[in-house]
Amino acid sequence: MTFMGGSPPSASSPSLLRMSRIAKSFGPNRVLREVDFELKAGEVHVLAGENGAGKSTLIRILGGALAADNGMIAIEGGPVRFRRPRDAADRGIAVIHQELSLVGSMSIADNLLLGREPGRLGWVDRAARAARARGVLERVGLRLDPDEPVSALPISSQQLVEIAKALSLGARIIVMDEPTSALSEPEVRRLFARIADLKAQGCGIIYITHRLEEIYALADRITVLRDGRVVASRPAGELPVGELVRLMVGRSIGDQAPRRAAAAGTVRLDLRRCRVRGEGAGRRPIVEDAALQVRSGEILGLVGLEGSGVSELLWAMFGALGKRAEVEMEIDGQTRRMSSPRAAIAAGIALVTNDRRRSGLVLSMDVVENATLAALPRFSPLGRLRRREEIEHTARTAGQLNLRCASLRQRVATLSGGNQQKVVLAKWMATHPRVLLLDDPTRGVDVGAKHEIYLLMNEWSRQGCGIILSSSEWPELLQVSDRIMVMHRGRVAASFRGGQATAADLLRAAMGHAIHE
Amino acid sequence: MNDGRPDQHESIGALERSAASRLRAFLSSPSATALLALGLVLAIGVAFSGDGAFHKWATHRDALRQASVYGILACGMTFVIITAGIDLSVGSVLALVAVMFSTLSIHEAWPPWLAVPACLALGGACGAASGLVVAKWRIQPFIVTLAMMVFARGLAKTLSGGMKVSTAVQLPDGSWTAAPVPGIFRLIDSRLLGDNISVVSLVFLACIALSWVILSRLRWGRYLYAIGGNEEAARLSGVPVAAMKVMAYALAGVFAAVAGLCQAAQEQQGDPEAGLGYELTAIAIVVIGGTSLMGGRGGIGLTLLGTLIIGYLDKILSVNAVPEASRLMLTGVIIIAAVLVQRRKD
């Protein structure tokens, strides 16, 4: 399948990197279990897996940002030990993240040669510096003025500058984590050509992507991670698409998501059009002309891989992206302008974000203060707080949600993940929403809390709420949703009726595979 | 509320905590630490009483009076710091208001019921201007209020012509005469209850009480804590973040104005150079009390304790005739020690 130049490495190619029996847990959560991974010189090795399969943890361990609990890393046969990212860089490992690590305000040459300027006694030799920078840039096929500031370059060139920097530091193992998420099609082709050059120069490349077409355009070898284990590691030619998708999703479906009788009523929310600009100049839009409807009592599943725009779409509908988003929307037949979250709450919308610690809770405040925050005017007529009513509401809701805490005056920072999420839900119960936007509400919560969250969703839909649910737990989402829409690169790529799709269908659509029916 | 589910009893029962666990919670709170620090300072005062001066009520009365202007500034600073901001302009706003108040009361003969509100409005406007720039253009509070600090000082000097605005009045023939000290000046500078407490101290305590109501009893206060604790979560919960920030800085300005009124009355003049470095003392008071510069944590009770700690420390050093140079060095050491002790609690 490799059509990019260079012959695929043979079995006898030297092993550049070998990670064996890598294990890592975060608390009780085992993220990686006995993972083996090998990278050969001149090879593009794709690391595939669903969100949360353990890919980024493995990469962070390789990059020295995280220490493994167990296991060994060997580079060109010699065991190594990384205590910090610098150690990994010294051994020739470069991780190119989605967020680039260049200093935008500095020139290309400054970024490339930071700390290694040619010259004597602190006197910079500008001509030598420019010449050296040009040489470094040529290795990745860039012809640029080294004195230009990095921020003036398009993202794709910045990425190449970062790769050039890694090469000039002697990197032979290059990790690219979703490098194309912000790139246009021609830029993607340019990047692929450079990857072919790198292979020819004997580098090994670990490539992470959610796009099937990229996997098969680039990969010499594919390793599939699922729930922290390697479930397959084969040459790309021996792993057809269907098999790959099956391996990625082949997870047992628990019964955490109880079934419910669907009863859809009138249209609650009608999103006519939504567009979200990318951040920074020249980036492609994150959401392009998405449209959807949710009826009262209906649960609409919204699915997409990282970077597909699902979260941004939900944020835009909640008025939380400000001027970056253009939204035309009706709620119960009335046109509403979502200028701010405040306006959205007034219009009866609630948003449970996918990161409760960053955007859901005020960790320094207690359970009561968090639970009433979004509906505070109701608990403080004329501005004076009615503590008694606040506590009564919180106690009642805590009972309904089975919230476990030592005291309602306890800081939410000290609660477990599942209980923290229940506090977030209690906050939105207080606002009596008509439309609920739930962005991965069961992320990182235990099975019991998960079950209660789904029960609450059912209760909400029974009361006539329209619910949009995004989740990284697809089997559960398939169970509870009446309809499912799949997003790919900012567009709605497919939609399914509940009960008629499988996780594999969703994954294929989410990875940009055309649906043939 | 009671449908017989056992879990519910558990969560509601948790409301009522045992006396022992409350005591434990209190002992690990910033209030306990600040109280302990104050107790320590007072103990030092008893040990080194400056030949018994520390045992006289007049010493305590004066300690409180001298700390009051700083304490009033610290009240306003508390609002801003709770939102994770900072206000460097309060010392300059104090001077601006002192100049304005003196000019209006002595030379323009405005009655107090007009001059006082005008001065408070001026202070509030300075603060609101800073708050608006911080909230709308998202410039760091440090920079914005640094600019306001310089600007307000310049305005104070412009209004006063660079001179102290005092009761000295030059007559047309070139000779000088003294205008009467306005009644409002004398009132603020007087003592009540048989000479036992200064009016300035009462003003300070009133500021503390007002701040407590806003921070602990009003919706606004809750919003300020939410913004300081997690601005993004606050915004996504519908908190009017920009308006609340403007309010916090405006309050800091109003309290700076109150401090300016007190300062002018005590000095019987409006000095455009007044309040130099006061903002730093106010910040030190808030931090020593235990309110976190990271925002979201702390309270006005802590600021009261912080004011007393700084005030008494200064008084004890002065009754023992410790030279100012040593006092400054000691204060620096104590600020660091206080912050280290507070950090342990997190």
Amino acid at B155: L
Give the integer Cα–Cα distance in Å for A437 and B81. 33
Interchain CB distance below 8 Å, A362 and B225? yes
> What confidence tens digit (pLDDT) does each residue in B2-57 have?
333 334 344 444 444 567 777 777 777 788 888 888 888 888 888 887 777 777 88
Q: Which residue of A has its CA nearest to B235?
A: A341
CB proximity A382 to B under 8 Å: no
Which of these, A138, A135, A139, A129, lies nearest to A106 by C-alpha position? A129
The β-bridge relationship of strands A44-48 and A204-208 is parallel
Contact B102, B269 (CB under 8 A): yes
Residue of B8, B9, B11, B294 for testing the chain A interface, max A β-carbons within 10 Å: B11
For residue A431, the chain B residue with the least C-alpha distance is: B237
Task: Report helix angle B19-27 to B30-47, nearest 10.
Answer: 60
pLDDT of residue A280: 61
Residue A468 at interface with chain B, using a CB cutoff of 8 Å:
no
Are A178 and A231 part of one and the same domain?
A: yes
Q: Which amino acid is located at A264 in the chain?
A: A
The amino acid at residue B319 is V
Give dist(CA A511, CA A114) in Å, integer. Answer: 38
User: Residues of chain A whose pLDDT is less than 50?
Assistant: 1-6, 251-256, 516-517
CB atoms within 10 A of CB A67: 12
Contact between chains at B217 and A391 (C-beta distance less than 8 A):
no
Q: How far apart are the CA of A108 and the nearest CA of chain B, in angstroms?
A: 28
In a domain, A56, yes or no: yes
Interface of A with B in 291-350 (CB under 8 A): 318, 320, 340-342, 344-346
Q: Which residues of chain B have pLDDT under 70?
A: 1-18, 342-346
Mark whether A365 and A393 lie in a shared domain: yes
Helical packing angle, B300-319 and B199-212, nearest 10°: 150
Do A237 and A152 fall into the same domain? no
Of the candidates A364, A405, A409, which has its C-beta nearest B229's C-beta?
A364
Specify whether A235 is located in the same domain as A364: no
- Domain B47-341 sits in CATH 1.10.3470: yes
Closest CA to B91 of B299, B314, B278, B251: B278
Contact B173, B115 (CB under 8 A): no
Radius of gyration, CA atoms only, chain A? 25
Same domain, A470 and A342: yes
**Beta-sheet pairing, A287-295 with A299-303:** unpaired
Q: What residue type is B170 in one-letter code?
A: Q
- B296 and chain A in contact, CB less than 8 A: yes
pLDDT for the residue numbered B257: 96
Question: What Rg do the C-alpha atoms of chain B give, in angstroms?
Answer: 22
Q: Which of B17, B22, B225, B237 to mutate to test the interface with A (most CBs of A within 10 A)?
A: B237
Give which of B21, B67, B18 is closest to B316, Cα–Cα: B67
Domain ranges of chain B: 47-341
Q: How close is the nearest chain A Cα to the Cα of B238, in Å?
A: 4
| Contacts A–B by Cβ distance under 8 A | 108
Interchain proximity B237–A402, CB inside 8 Å: no
Identity of the residue numbered A83: R
Q: Using N-to-C axis directions, what is the helix angle for B57-82 and B199-212, rounded to 10°? A: 30
Q: How much of chain B, in percent, has pLDDT values that exceed 90?
A: 49
Rounded Cα distance, A272 and A329, in Å:
6
3-class secondary-structure state, position A273? strand
The two three-digit tokens of residue B77, written as one number: 């600073």
Rounded to whole angstroms, what are the CA distances from A187 to A341, B208, B292?
A: 35, 61, 47
d(CA A27, CA A446): 13
Indicate the pairing of strand A267-276 with strand A325-331.
antiparallel
Assign A191 to helix, strand or coil.
Answer: helix
From the CB of residue B210, how many other CB atoms can be counted at a distance below 10 Å?
A: 16
A331 and A362 together in one domain:
no
Distance of residue A440 Cα from the nearest chain B Cα, in angstroms? 16
Q: Is A358 on the interface with B (CB under 8 A)?
A: yes
- Domain boundary residue, one of A391, A412, A432: A432
Residue A320 lies in a domain: yes
* B85 and B134 Cβ atoms separated by less than 8 Å: yes
CA-nearest residue to A371 within chain B is B237
Q: Which of the residues A312, A345, A353, A364 would you substitute to probe the B interface, choosing the one with the greatest number of B C-beta atoms within 10 Å?
A: A364
For residue A259, being part of any structural domain is answered with: no
Of the candidates A417, A432, A447, which is a domain's last residue? A432
What is the reported pLDDT for B314? 87
Is residue A385 located within the same domain as residue A438?
no
List chain B residues with CB under 8 Å of A345.
Answer: 237-238
Total count of residues recorded for chain B: 346
A183 and A294 in a single domain? The answer is no
Cβ distance A401 to A426 under 8 Å? yes
Does one domain contain both A66 and A1? yes
Whether the CB of A455 is below 8 Å from some CB of chain B: the reply is no
Does B234 lie at the interface with A, CB-CB under 8 angstroms? yes
Q: For A372, name the nearest residue in chain B, comparing CA atoms only.
A: B237
- Cβ contact A364–B17 (<8 Å): no
Smallest CA-to-CA distance from A285 within A99, A514, A491 is with: A491
What is the value of ipTM here, to two decimals?
0.83
Q: What is the C-alpha to C-alpha distance for residues A288 and A270, in angstroms, rounded to an integer?
A: 16
B313 Cα distance to chain centroid:
17
| Residues of chain A with C-beta less than 8 angstroms from the C-beta of B218 | 380, 383-385
CA A50: distance to chain centroid? 10
Contact call for B232 and A383, based on CB within 8 A:
no
List the single residue in B with minimal CA-CA distance to A390: B219
Between chains, do A373 and B230 touch, taking CB under 8 Å as contact?
Answer: no
Domain with A59, as residue range(s), is: 1-6+22-92+172-250
**What tokens does A110 get?**
């400054």
How far is A343 from chain B, CA to nearest CA, in Å?
A: 8
User: In chain B, which ranges are continuous DSSP H helix?
Assistant: 6-13, 19-27, 30-47, 57-82, 90-102, 112-137, 141-160, 183-188, 199-212, 219-229, 231-236, 241-267, 278-289, 300-319, 324-344
Burial label for A232, CB within 10 Å (0-12, 13-18, 19+), is middle
Query: Looking at residue A323, which CATH number applies to its domain?
Result: 3.40.50.300
- Check whether residue A110 and residue A145 sit in a common domain: yes
Neighbouring CB atoms inside 10 A of A265's CB total: 11
- Measured in whole angstroms, the distance separating CA A155 from the mean position of its chain's CA atoms is 19
Q: Which of A432, A463, A497 is the last residue of a domain?
A: A432
Contact A474, A53 (CB under 8 A): no
Q: What are the residues whose beta carbons fall under 8 Å from the beta carbon of A49, sequence distance 6 or more?
A: A55, A224, A225, A226, A248
**Alpha-carbon gap, residue B282 to A124, rounded angstroms:** 46
CB contact under 8 Å between A365 and B226, yes or no, is yes
Domain co-membership, A326 together with A270? yes
- Of the candidates A320, A377, A396, the beta carbon closest to that of B219 is on A377
> What is the distance between the alpha carbons of residues A330 and A333, in angstroms, rounded to a whole number?
5
- In angstroms, the CA A154 to CA B285 distance is 49
Nearest CA in chain A to B295: A364
Q: Residue B148: its pLDDT value, please?
A: 95
**Count of Cβ atoms closer than 10 Å to residue B202 Cβ:** 16
A119-120 and A123-124 as β-strands: parallel, antiparallel, unpaired? Answer: antiparallel
Q: Among candidates A229, A235, A270, A263, which has minimal Cα distance to A248?
A: A229
Contacts of A382 in chain B (CB under 8 A): none
Other residues' Cβ atoms within 10 Å of the Cβ of residue B194 = 6
Q: In angstroms, rounded to a whole number, what is the distance separating the alpha carbons of residues B113 and B270?
A: 18
Query: Number of folded domains in chain A?
Result: 4
